[in-house]
Structure 1
Amino acid sequence: MDNKLLPLSFSVEANKGVYALLLGSGISYSSGIPTGWGILNELCRRIMKLNGEEEENAIKWYQEKYDKPALYDEVIEMLARTSSERQGLLKEFFEPTEEDIEEKRKLPTEAHHAIAQLVKEGYIRVIVTTNFDRLLEQALDELSVQYQTLYHESDIDGMKPLAHSECTILKIHGDYRDTRFKNVTDELQQYSESLTELLQRIFDEYGIITSGWSAEWDTALRDTIKSVKGRRYSWYWHSFTKELNSKAQDLVSFRDGNIIVDSEGADHFFKQLLENVQSISEIKKANPESLQLKIQKFKKHLNNGYEMGISELITNETKIVLEYFNTINFNESASIEVLNQRIQEIKDRTKTLATLVYILANNVCNVGQERILIETLERLTLNKYNSGTPRLLDLQKIPLQVILYCSGIALTKNENYETLDKIFVKPRVRDHLNNHWDFATYTAPSNGLHDLFSFLYSAHRYYLPVEEFIHSYLKDVLLESQLMFDVVEYDIFYDLFEFLRSIKCRHLGKGYQFYSGRFGYKHDKRHIESLLKEGSLNKEWKVLALFNYDYDDFKKAFTKLVDDFQGSYKYNINGLMDFYEEASTS
């Protein structure tokens, strides 16, 4: 088995519904159903026999006899005039006899069953096939999977949108029971406009896994693939041998595709893919139980004041996060699909560390525990790899942002602004290329991550793509572990932390490093108004720990934040200054 199957398996599991299949006759080979070319050859042989002649190459004989190419539909019509006769003629090639059933011929193969299971579990939703047979439909029926089958131009006009269908099977050469066939020779130079547009959309919007298709005869399909210039997701080509024919190799090169060699055939390939995907999913499902055990152990150490145990658990989880980056090939292409796969893996490995850090920050009560928080942030600044594809290298910065937010949100919620001030300024940068930077500069979203997530979220056009990612991820982490009561509570303390971070950066003279958080463009700012009102009424306001305990320093920084937003169509916090001044004078 080719070692490229493993990254494909991780990608399929992490990106449900992103991959479509392109299947040829090789997928049904082990069932005993002949290929379209094989059927054409047999029909030409029968015509040759009726003419009382005998040649080794029946298709060549047909072409010489009738002085024209052997086209599938014309050859069938010579042997069967009516639609019902044509169905009867083809039935023997596709439908099993009792003997076939006993010998398990002309029945769905292991590949068909594996594909059907991938569909049922939501990993595959679109299948393009050149096959006439209905083995795939039979396998889906056995699992009670709903699907739509498109095998004629008229079907496309009334089709359900791909995104709204549990599964769509596009049979580009037709279905044997319909008999409105497309020719299987290379005479078919182009498809109808509606079929071409649908195929172009699929090849542009989905990653493609190809199996059992040689690309040798399908001129129109090859041309349609080459008409799509987009490279949103990777293409994988399952091959039985290391050497592809020239036309297939040309398509792989055009699509920058990955060849996966499995000489044991489509049955083995799809069975392995299914098993890998299911195993990865099961491993993920097992994590919550182990996470709960770690949370219980961690809380016990906190309650007992066992600082060494606290440090060991945090250190071990930090190592798990950092060691993951040793597994990445930083020189591979940074497609959206690859980046999403890597980010999902980072999220999975960072989840436990994020949870434990939040608990620690929410309960920190001495200098030793503060030191663990600061030390963890410092360790995460060590970007070990500095050579390769920039967007892949920037992935190393994600855990640091996650842990900074976990610490900050918990400390804000617990009103521990003294420790919050320390995590803003105390950590030292260990990245050997940028160790002269201060922590606020190093953790700026503009330091790589803004470009990365702008690329990933280009369709959403977020103002603050990094902050949107962190907000979504930590919401799931903290609510799932029941460390936040609900989404409303989470949003309140998330916004307050980003608000304080924005002002703190301006206090440090680095407002450009954290321009704004999500609060800047949100209409509801009542929770921030409540914080400001508390400050206007209380001269011992705890927030002042972030500003040298100096009220004037806070007001200067806050004023700078408001001034920075003047004239911005994206952000609006003018009302906050008005509210603050009114509260101060009342």
Structure 2
Amino acid sequence: MGSEDATGPVTLPTGGLIEPPMTMALNVHSSPGVYALLLGAGVSIASGVKTGWGVVQDVVGKVAAVRDPDNLDARAEAMADPEKWWEANTSEPLGYSALLAAAAPRPASRQAMLAEYFEPEEGQDDSKGPTAAHRAIAQLVKRGSIRVILTTNFDRLTERALQEVGISPQVVSRPEQIVGIKPLAHSQVTVIKLHGDYADLEQRNTVDELETYPDELQQLLERVLDEYGLIVCGWSAEWDEALVRAVQSTRSRRYPMFWAQYGPFGDAARALTAQHDAVVIDGKSADELFTDLVRRIEALDRLTAAPITRDVAVVQLKRDLPDPLRRIELFDLVDQAVTQIVDRSTPEHKPVLAASTTWADTFGSNVRGYRTDSDILLHLLANGVFHDDGTHDRVWRRAVERLVRLRDTTPGTYNEYLEKLRHLPALLSTWTIGVAAILSRREELLATALYHPEWAVPNSGRRRQGPAWYLNPIRVVSTDGLHDMHRAEGGNRFLYPQSNWVKDTLREPFRLVEPNDIAYREACARFEFLASMIAMDTENDVYAYPWPGEFLLDSTWGYDNHGLADVIERELTDTWPLLRAGAFGGELLRAQKALTALTEWRRQYGRTW
């Protein structure tokens, strides 16, 4: 793999069959839990969080400014060479610990001083947050590929990314913690903060502080370097003398070392990669490296796993549905289908940001991707709801609840229309449940499906609403974006593109329960009509928007007392299934008022969307 020449890093020839990122993915996939990560400042730089040395520079600059308040250049001069300024103006050596102890002598004041460097600013929860690299690393940990993370960073971005996916990491930031930790092999993940945590005074940051490690930390580090393969990213090896010596002293490695470098190599990094025959991955940022690694490993998963097909899933559903002893198997079957969607709905798989020149392509790719990822679930819901007698309604409801939560967190930077698409699987699932309920004459289920679960845009202060409002297709799928990817014959635009596309894309899951195309489309139109009636049942006119459906066309709505609107008007009695199930508060008058409001809306705006 490598060369005997110690003058430069070892690289695999580019353009060959197996590129370095491919080699890394193959090794990590074949040996889960065997590779540890060594992360440096380059992994966190995209988050806006300062490095430890950056904090030292800034605090020294502030000290200089308050020491000489009349000198407007005092801060800039001190930050240009903090060590020189500190030595000239104090009798103490410059160090992170000593600096903070002097500037903020109490824990509370120290925490307040550091918060601006490492915590999100007030009202800006998306600032100083985990990067795409951190979130991809969390996915690697979640799947069991990575169990040990060495980091020189003070920040808590890695821990935050792990917590976002439900993992509570074992964190070591001080030597005295080491004696009480779980064995590395028994912990889901251990984060070893070689230079400490930003909130402690035990950090190592200056050249002198980085020359040696405490004995306990040195022994733990040597153990990791001896027992695990190593993936290095964002670490220059320029200042961390103790860490450089530890890597140098490691004997011939059991597993290959992978070293990702974005930019030129320094002498220390060049020597280490040559010594260990490291596979160098050049020219990739941390975000690119780890998101690419996740993507390649998942591709290998698809080769080695035997995923359940949708047809097999439907057969299993029909076997489990009538058997009370198989209720857990049924629950797991549907829940696993939802998990597949959730796992593929991260920004790494479905981008929420795109340049104006590529926005349309990204939008279309995301829409198609969400539909493909949801395929098994939609088949399960269509067949399950149709054949169920209400016994398993909790299972169908939970599926939507989990999908709705895809928008419970807001990405750091995003395009509004790409971000809203994260609710597309929930919309498709709710539509499928509703149409299946209509086809099976169980319309009372709509009183749950269109009112629950309630949701509101995070941190918006808005009132929580039901799916009839926030899953309105026009609120989820951009009309312009859909026009670009879904055209009528001859390239013409559909009047109601969301309605037409959803009906077309959901036709296949309903083939077994309703083979007749006309009956299927009539059920879809009825569902849109009823969802729109519920959407109009609100005291706030801002939220009173019908679903933009083809049911509004004369051919379906009808005229001269012939059509869907007249049918539903005649059905409105105290015994109407939706009223008995609690829709419209169980009040006939409210349902009638909603129908009147919908009729008036159509009269004014029905063909001007």
Shorter-chain TM band? 0.3 to 0.5
Question: What is the TM-score when the length of structure 1 is the normalising length?
Answer: 0.47
| Structure whose residues are more often helix by fraction | 1
Larger radius of gyration: 1
Question: What is the TM-score when the length of structure 2 is the normalising length?
Answer: 0.45
